[in-house]
């Protein structure tokens, strides 16, 4: 490979975009050519300097507030206004005909819809907890510190256990809001991945088998057991999250 | 009825983690905080209006594409002179010897000096550098975001870096700030 060819590939080499064969050709040429190896060094030094995190700007808080407001305004405009004008007798007729069908299907539909709604809120809470440095209200690996912290803040006691020996240490707790109610969020960690575990009491008496979902690149697992509803969310792989879910389900 | 609440949450889950990246891209392109905020706010509104079409995968790429498009709408309206046809690769001799790289200047680069130098680059060069260096995007990701072939991305990055190095060396010589 000559200098002309090499020079066009230097950027690709620095960016890790060349295949193995061409990478080696570039290295071999640069080893024996001062001009090209000098160029390569320059590009690598510039690249290292530019990819430093200090070069990036962070979004000002006022921007987030502005956006929040403009979306609020947007959703208010969307509020539906129905202006039906159907005669009274037609309304009664429709109502009578629909009631039987609707009651059954709504019951099924609402369960699925409300679960979707909770999933969306779990994702939003997870994302918010990562964003604003607000992962913890209480930061501790000791379950005997985290569990009592919720006393007086919730009207239930969340089950809190540590799985450090299995590789999923407890790292803290947080008060969060889902479906309009205060819930406990327990934070675990697997390598660099935070896992949020939301747990709250459910009126359902039965247990349900764990369900896996994926939203926005996150893995979620939810189930009901012994009067509590559990939602796990993390960017951890599906396998590892399932393994963790199984640990939580053991008595 | 239900979907409105679900849309807001899906929107926030897609947008919030990418707000810094969005603002950063808009700022390096507009060079001005107020304008960058206008661009990102416009992009966020567009993203909200299109959230139902978002398939949930690669939120960063999705939102930054919207930000980029919002920027170009903005620049065509406010600074049309900045938008010009990218330089024809044939007329710009990439293979001519670049000046001897000034390693010390590059190693000690601070944001102020980079900011001044980037201001001299055309938009398509700046955009490619921001996405590659600040966002760590691959050539394929940049190509998809900017809707150009990968070869164009490679060429823009090579020329951008070459021009940037020349500017940094020249600016250091003058000790000038803008």
Predicted confidence (pLDDT) per residue in B111-132, tens digit: 999 999 999 999 999 999 999 9
Partners of A75 on chain B (C-beta within 8 Å) are: 4, 8
Q: How far is CA B37 from CA A13, A69, A170, in A?
A: 35, 14, 39
Handedness of CA A47, A53, A54, A59 (dihedral sign): positive
Residues 79-138 of B with CB under 8 A from A: 94-95, 97-98, 100-103, 106-109, 111, 114, 129, 132-134, 136, 138
Each residue's pLDDT tens digit, A122-154: 998 998 888 766 788 899 999 999 999 998 888
Percent of chain B with pLDDT over 90: 70
Q: Residue B45, Cβ neighbours under 10 Å: how many?
A: 17
Q: Strands A181-190 and A170-178, how do they pair?
A: antiparallel
Report the Cα A249 to chain-centroid distance in Å: 21
Phi and psi angles of residue A237, each rounded to the nearest 5 degrees, phi first: -65, 155
Instruction: List own/partner pairs for B86-94 with CB under 8 A and 24 or more apart.
Output: B86/B122, B86/B124, B86/B156, B87/B122, B87/B159, B89/B155, B89/B159, B92/B159, B94/A7, B94/A8, B94/B155, B94/B158, B94/B159, B94/B162
Report residue A80's pLDDT band, with 50, 70 and 90 as the boundaries.
Answer: low
Tokens 């609402």 correspond to A110
Q: Which residues contact A207 (CB under 8 A, 6 or more apart)?
A: A223, A224, A225, A226
CA of B37 vs chain A CAs: smallest distance (Å):
6
Report residue A155's pLDDT band, with 50, 70 and 90 as the boundaries.
Answer: confident
Report the residue of chain A nearest B10, measured CA to CA.
A120
Q: Between residues B106 and A93, which one has the greater pLDDT? A: B106
B163 backbone φψ class: left, alpha, beta (φ>0; ψ -120 to 50):
alpha
Q: Quick check: A83 pLDDT over 60?
A: no
Q: Where are the beta strands (DSSP E) in A141-227?
A: 170-178, 181-190, 193-201, 208-215, 218-225
Q: Strands A193-201 and A181-190, how do they pair?
A: antiparallel
What's the DSSP call for residue A165? G
Cβ distance B23 to A60 less than 8 Å, yes or no, reads yes
Report the residue of chain B nearest A42, measured CA to CA.
B101
Q: Residue A93, Cβ neighbours under 10 Å: how many?
A: 12
Partners of B61 on chain A (C-beta within 8 Å) are: none
| pTM, two decimal places | 0.59
What distance in Å separates the CA atoms of residue A126 and residue B12, rounded to the nearest whole number? 11
Tokens describing residue A51: 């990819």
What distance in Å separates the CA atoms of residue A72 and residue A58, rounded to the nearest whole number? 23
Each residue's pLDDT tens digit, A192-229: 899 999 999 987 777 888 999 998 889 999 999 988 99
Tokens 């990562």 correspond to A130
B33: buried, middle or exposed (CB in 10 Å: 19+, 13-18, 0-12)? middle
Each residue's pLDDT tens digit, A99-125: 656 665 666 666 666 788 899 899 989
pLDDT of residue A117: 86
Percent of chain B with pLDDT over 70: 85
What integer is the mean pLDDT of B28-44? 97
Instruction: Tell me the H-state helices in B79-149.
Output: 103-107, 111-118, 123-129, 139-146
Tokens describing residue A93: 């007729």
């Amino acid at each position: 490979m000559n200098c002309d060819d090499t020079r066009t590939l230097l950027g690709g080499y620095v960016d890790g975009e060349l295949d193995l064969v061409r990478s080696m050709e570039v290295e071999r040429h640069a080893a024996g050519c001062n001009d090209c190896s000098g160029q390569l060094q320059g590009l690598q030094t510039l690249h290292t300097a530019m990819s430093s995190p200090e070069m990036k700007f962070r979004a000002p808080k006022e921007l987030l507030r502005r956006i929040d407001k403009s979306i609020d305004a947007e959703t208010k405009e969307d509020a539906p206004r129905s202006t039906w004008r159907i005669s009274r007798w037609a309304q009664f007729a429709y109502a009578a005909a629909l009631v039987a069908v609707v009651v059954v299907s709504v019951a099924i539909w609402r369960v699925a819809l409300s679960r979707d709604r909770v999933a969306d809120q779990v994702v939003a809470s997870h994302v918010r907890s990562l964003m604003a440095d607000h992962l913890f209200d209480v930061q501790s690996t000791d379950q005997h510190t985290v569990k009592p912290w919720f006393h007086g803040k919730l009207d239930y006691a969340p089950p809190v256990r540590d799985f450090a020996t299995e590789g999923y240490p407890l790292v803290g707790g947080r008060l969060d809001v889902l479906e309009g109610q205060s819930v406990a969020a327990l934070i675990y960690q697997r390598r660099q991945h935070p896992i949020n575990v939301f747990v709250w009491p459910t009126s359902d008496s039965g247990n349900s088998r764990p369900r896996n979902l994926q939203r926005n690149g996150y893995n979620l697992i939810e189930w009901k057991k012994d009067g509590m509803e559990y939602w796990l969310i993390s960017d951890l792989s599906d396998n590892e999250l399932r393994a963790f879910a199984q640990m939580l389900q053991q008595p | 009825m239900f979907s409105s609440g679900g849309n807001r949450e899906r929107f926030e889950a897609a947008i919030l983690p990418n707000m810094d990246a969005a603002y950063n891209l808009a700022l390096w392109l507009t060079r001005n905080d107020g304008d960058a905020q206008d661009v990102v706010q416009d992009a966020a509104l567009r993203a909200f209006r299109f959230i139902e079409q978002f398939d949930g995968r690669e939120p960063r790429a999705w939102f930054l594409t919207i930000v980029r498009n919002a920027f170009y709408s903005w620049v065509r309206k406010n600074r049309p002179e900045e938008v010009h046809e990218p330089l024809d690769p044939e007329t710009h001799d990439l293979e001519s010897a670049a000046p001897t790289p000034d390693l010390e200047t590059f190693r000690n680069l601070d944001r102020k000096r980079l900011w001044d130098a980037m201001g001299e680059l055309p938009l398509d060069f700046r955009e490619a550098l921001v996405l590659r260096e600040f966002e760590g995007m691959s050539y394929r990701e940049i190509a998809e975001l900017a809707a150009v072939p990968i070869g164009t991305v490679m060429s823009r990055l090579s020329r951008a870096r070459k021009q940037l190095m020349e500017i940094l060396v020249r600016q250091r010589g003058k000790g000038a700030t803008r």
